[in-house]
Amino acid sequence: MTTAPDRPFLDTVAHATATPEAPQPWADLGLKPDEYQRIRDILDRRPTAAELAMYSVMWSEHCSYKSSKIHLAQFGEKTTDAMREHLLVGIGENAGVVDIGDGWAVTFKVESHNHPSFVEPYQGAATGVGGIVRDIMAMGARPIAVMDQLRFGAIDHPDTPRVVHGIVSGVGGYGNSLGLPNIGGELVFDPSYQGNPLVNALCVGSMRHEDIHLANASGVGNKIVLFGARTGGDGIGGVSVLASETFDEHGKSAAKRPSVQVGDPFQEKVLIECCLELFAAKVVEGIQDLGGAGLSCATSELASAGDGGMHVDLDLVPLRDPSLRAEEILMSESQERMMAVVRPDLLDAFLAITEKWDVETAVLGEVTETGRLVIDFKGETVVDVPPRTVAHDGPVYHRPFARPAWQDALVADTVVAAGLARPGTPAELRATLLALLASPNLASKAWVTDQYDRYVQGNTKLAQPDDGGVVRVDEVTGLGVALSTDANGRYTKLDPYTGAQLALAESYRNVATTGARPLAVTDCLNFGSPEDPDAMWQLVEAVRGLADGCQVLGIPVTGGNVSLYNGTGEAGKIDSSIHPTPVVGVLGVLDDVARATNSGWTAPGLSVYLLGVTRAELDGSAWADVAHAHLGGVPPRVDLAAERTLAEILINASRDHLIDAAHDLSEGGLAQALVESSLRYGTGVRVSVDALCARDGITPFEALFSESTARAIVAVPRSEEVRFADLCGARGFPLLKLGVTADAPLSGADHHGDAPAPAVEVADLFTVPLAEARAASDATLPRYFG
């Protein structure tokens, strides 16, 4: 086939049929030999360059979940009818939707943008936020809040500031420009993430039940409309391996284009308002955001989920770069774009609204009855495929997996076996607390969170550093939701099954401490290469643990994300991957956000109680990490029945105004929680651990720093102590009074003659003035990044 000088080569369906042996760069696009052959079998010919691009991105791990979907099926299989009571839309759509009462629904989801954020931290993180926001928009909802879960390498590594500054600025710059409050998240530093940071972004949106929209192209003759930003050369092949190649007639690379998208939050803000008006006008039949895989995803998924036929003309796509080839247009992940299915009789009304908002719009084609996705370019057909084979019927792998050879040695290396020195004297215990307070993962996150707007829109009730974020949905009744996201890669490294359940339990507990009733789960599963049996075993165990845990807690997984190939080491080695990190987000409902319980003491004279049992559980703990850089042993035991009872107590106590504050116990144990609750509003506390040590058979060190689960501390007004004790007693839940909140410690010895100031005082052991604790906690992040 010859090409005129003024007309670039175009690999059409006709040309592909006539040149069955033409070389193609399928391996460069991340496809395996058997996958390429499968595409040829489906089409009964070789694919065109455009078809090859579509299959490569849609069959990528990111889009198809080909290594994980057989295991993810457990989430559906283990969801009971009772768990579906509040579930309006489950796994399989852009995001899950939950009924929260009074005709209101919320949709929420967490996704990853890990690899782009290492290559280009600002844009990688920014477009991660933009992408998850559009997922929420595509369900018909108004986005109302975001959260972020960030994990970086060692805080003192020379490359960490580059990544931290870029990612934090990207998250804040995009979210703040959209006017969305950032109500919580996580910030973790660990050498395992050095070459592979994790950027997981969550968004929650609200809508009325009747406003729910789904992604499908139904109704023969309905129009396919692309609207939003123009399509450019950024983000091409971002979801597939090395998929930024363009092709000539010999299968050679013609150019390289950037694989990280470039975002424009102001254009997305306009797009949000435009979409909401389109929904309100009821002129949209189906809608899909253009995120990973761009037009390849939107066209194939809409067609596959609808009547199965679609015809599109790529010449009608508004372009920023007119030199883009068909495969590049299909693979581009340019941001701030949406695709809608619109009835012909409503098209003028649709276009009037997009014109009002000055949103560029193009009618690309229509729904057909052919059962095939047909795409034309330059007057020729370049794609003619069964859409389901692209979007839903991709490869499914039963990857081999096995418990790693190094796992037994890791588990056997407990803090006891390692002979780690433990603090024993009051001075040593005090120094240990200050060291933990100043450690990167327990120190104040204010340097980060102060760069985010947490209260824009005026509906935020609680935000970091509270245990959970709380945001109002209905301004009339005060109905709202609470959200928390949690994960502990150290625990999951020791035991993936238990580690996933611990993440679930902590997130569930954090939602309950606000007084909200947990309803649903979203997850982002960050693991190593699925081709490494060690990493695959970690994923399989974590999924099994999470599915089993959700069944016990009675809350369904509504959707989420799997991010694999996170690692920079050699497969089969203990350090070949990141710490396996299953991030679990839990959403709960509050009938009135005004009664949400915060995590800090608001006044002196409140009685402080510990709920739950403390065991000597220090393997994988913050103390083992900070004091000894040790990771080994077994993580704390999980007791989901106890977590359910604890949550019930916290929710009822909040509803009946029996508690003034509640804070879960997790990393850093009781000592960390006491300081955090005191620092929240500047009110100190006086406690004793003598009764706790006697009751649970532990030492003062274990009482202060153990990370046993199903525990919380609460502040109870003295007038409500009897009622609160009865609430716990009726459920047989362990309760122990530790002390009282106070303006000053009993002893002024640590104040050197000055007037006594608020402090955390542990009787007969030590006193730490809040000013000293705050100085230790606040200084760490600014010292490295400020």
Written in H, E and C, the secondary structure of 242-280 is: CCCEEECCCCCEEEECCCCCCCCHHHHHHHHHHHHHHHH
Tens of pLDDT along 588-647? 999 999 999 999 999 999 999 999 999 999 999 999 999 999 999 999 999 999 999 999
Is 111 within any annotated ligand binding site?
yes
- The amino acid sitting at 33 is P
Which pLDDT value is given to residue 102? Answer: 95
Q: Is 135 one of the annotated binding-site residues?
A: yes
- At 117, the pLDDT band (50, 70, 90 cuts) reads very high
Instruction: Report the range of poorest mean pLDDT among 213-222, 255-264, 746-755.
Output: 746-755
Q: State pLDDT tens for residues 698-719.
A: 999 999 999 999 999 999 999 9
Residue 254: is its pLDDT beyond 50? no
Write down the pLDDT at residue 125. 93
pLDDT at 573 over 90: no
Q: Quote the pLDDT of residue 2.
A: 41
Q: Is 112 among the annotated ligand-binding positions?
A: yes
- The whole-number pLDDT of residue 237 equals 61
What would the pLDDT profile of 154-213 be if each residue is shown by its tens digit?
999 999 999 999 999 999 999 999 999 999 999 999 999 999 999 999 999 999 999 998
In the sheet that holds 373-377, the strands lie side by side as: 286-289, 337-342, 223-228, 361-368, 309-313, 373-377, 380-385
- What residues are annotated to the active site? 62, 113
Q: Is the dihedral of CA 189, 712, 717, 594 positive or negative?
A: positive
Q: Which pLDDT score, from 0 to 100, does residue 260 have?
A: 72
Looking at the predicted structure, is the pLDDT value of residue 658 above 60?
A: yes
Q: Does the annotation place 560 within a ligand binding site?
A: yes
What confidence tens digit (pLDDT) does each residue in 285-341 have? 989 898 778 899 999 988 888 887 999 999 999 999 999 999 999 999 889 999 999
- Arithmetic mean of pLDDT, 713-729: 98
Q: Domain 597-785 adopts which CATH fold?
A: Phosphoribosyl-aminoimidazole Synthetase; Chain A, domain 2 (3.90.650)
Distances (CA, A) of 472 to 184, 480, 517: 15, 4, 15
Once rounded to an integer, what is the mean pLDDT over residues 143-159? Answer: 97
Average model confidence (pLDDT) across the chain: 92
250 is in an annotated binding site: no
- Annotated binding residue at 561? yes
Token pair, residue 261, equals: 């998208």
**pLDDT at residue 241 in the model:** 42
* Amino acid 755: pLDDT: 63
| Digit-coded pLDDT (tens) for 520-565 | 999 999 999 999 999 999 999 999 999 999 999 999 999 999 999 9
Q: How far is CA 9 from CA 1, 3, 115, 232, 776, in A?
A: 9, 6, 33, 20, 64
Looking at 86-95, 417-426, 440-449, 666-675, which range is the least confident one?
Answer: 86-95
pLDDT-based confidence at 569, cuts 50/70/90? Answer: low
Share of residues in the chain with pLDDT > 70 (%): 94
Is 311 within any annotated ligand binding site?
no
Q: Where are the domains of the chain?
A: 597-785
pLDDT (0 to 100) of residue 1: 41
- In this predicted structure, what is the pLDDT of residue 256? 44
**Rounded to two decimals, what is the model's pTM?**
0.94
In this prediction, residue 65 has a pLDDT band, given cuts at 50, 70 and 90, of very high
Residue 498 has pLDDT above 60, yes or no: yes
Q: What confidence score (pLDDT) does residue 242 get?
A: 31
Amino acid letter for position 347: L
CA dist 72 and 540 (Å) reads 9
Average pLDDT estimate for 721-746:
95
Q: Is 289 annotated as a binding residue?
A: yes
pLDDT at 236 over 50: yes
| Alpha carbon distance 667, 674 (integer Å) | 12
pLDDT confidence band for 3 (50 / 70 / 90): very low
Which residues on adjacent β-strands are paired with residue 698? Answer: none
Tokens of 346: 């409503």
Confirm or deny that 335 is annotated as ligand binding.
Answer: yes
598 is in an annotated binding site: no
Dihedral sign, CA of 115, 120, 122, 128?
negative
Does the pLDDT of residue 372 top 80, yes or no? yes
Q: Is 459 within any annotated ligand binding site?
A: no
In angstroms, the first-to-last Cα distance of the chain is 61
Sorting pLDDT into bands at 50, 70 and 90, what band is 246?
Answer: very low
Is 134 annotated as belonging to a binding site?
yes
Report the alpha-carbon distance of residue 296 to residue 55 in Å, rounded.
Answer: 8
Rounded Cα gap, residues 207 and 214, in angstroms? 13
Determine the average pLDDT of the residues in 64-82.
94
CA–chain centroid gap for 140, Å, is 20
